[in-house]
Amino acid sequence: GNRLTSLPDSFGDLAKLQVLQMNGTRLFNLPASFVDLVALETLELNGIPLTDFPAAFGRLVALQKLVLNNGCLLALPPDFGGLSRLHTLELNRNQLSYLPETICELRALQTLELNGNHLATLPAEIGRLASLQRCGLNANRLAELPESFGGLAALRELFLSENKLAALPESFGELALLERLELNGNCLEVLPACLEQLGALQRLELRGNKCAPGPSCSATL
């Protein structure tokens, strides 16, 4: 394995660095100067023990893709919404228990993957992510979705299996482009009426809910 455990303070001087991949290193923190990497477009940090990002992380305005799966992240910085060009955010299997409201400002975001975290709620204005096409929230602790959720007008794939959802917001029926919806292993007792409004829906999975008519309540419409 890679034994790199720290980066020097001078690392931020790499003003033209566009792609940085440090998967599988032993980095516990990033230097404060990291936010000076103003040309950075792709950052991959899979499997590192980082618990948080440095302050002013939102200054990485060129960042388009951020991937840190299988890590130890506890929180995202308040200024995370400053990453105005970010189109891909993958933070699967970390320890995130909440998201900052500013994440709703990521208007360029197309892919949001937060499977296997500890999220009990989502920001109230999550529906402002107007470019979002794919959203992965499997294996969290979500008991409800914000009413704004129906504002995700570009959403095509939504993964909400293994949560605690007993109902869906009425606005859910406004997801006019939604093609794939997975709600396996939740607490739905009745089939939400709003699902009937999803005219583009091609695949619906409802295994392991109380509403399921049989052991495999999965349908391709």
Tokens of 149: 């959720």
pLDDT for the residue numbered 215 = 41
Q: In what order do the strands lie in the sheet with 134-136?
A: 19-21, 42-44, 65-67, 88-90, 111-113, 134-136, 157-159, 180-182, 203-205, 218-220
pLDDT for the residue numbered 210 = 80
Pairing label, strands 88-90, 65-67: parallel
pLDDT for the residue numbered 67 = 99
3-state SS, 178-190, equals CCEEECCCCCCCC
CA distances to 35, 124, 128, 142, 198 from 55, in Å: 8, 24, 24, 28, 41
- CA 80 to CA 111: how far, in whole Å? 16
Pairing label, strands 203-205, 218-220: antiparallel
pLDDT for the residue numbered 1 = 61
Write down the pTM of the prediction: 0.93
pLDDT tens by residue, the chain, 221 residues: 678 899 999 999 999 999 999 999 999 999 999 999 999 999 999 999 999 999 999 999 999 999 999 999 999 999 999 999 999 999 999 999 999 999 999 999 999 999 999 999 999 999 999 999 999 999 999 999 999 999 999 999 999 999 999 999 999 999 999 999 999 999 999 899 999 999 999 999 999 998 655 443 444 44
Per the CB < 8 A criterion, the answer to whether 66 and 89 are in contact is: yes
Longest dimension (CA), the chain: 61
Closest by Cα among 107, 210, 115, 97 to 157: 115
pLDDT for the residue numbered 221 = 41
Per the CB < 8 A criterion, the answer to whether 57 and 35 are in contact is: yes
pLDDT for the residue numbered 211 = 67
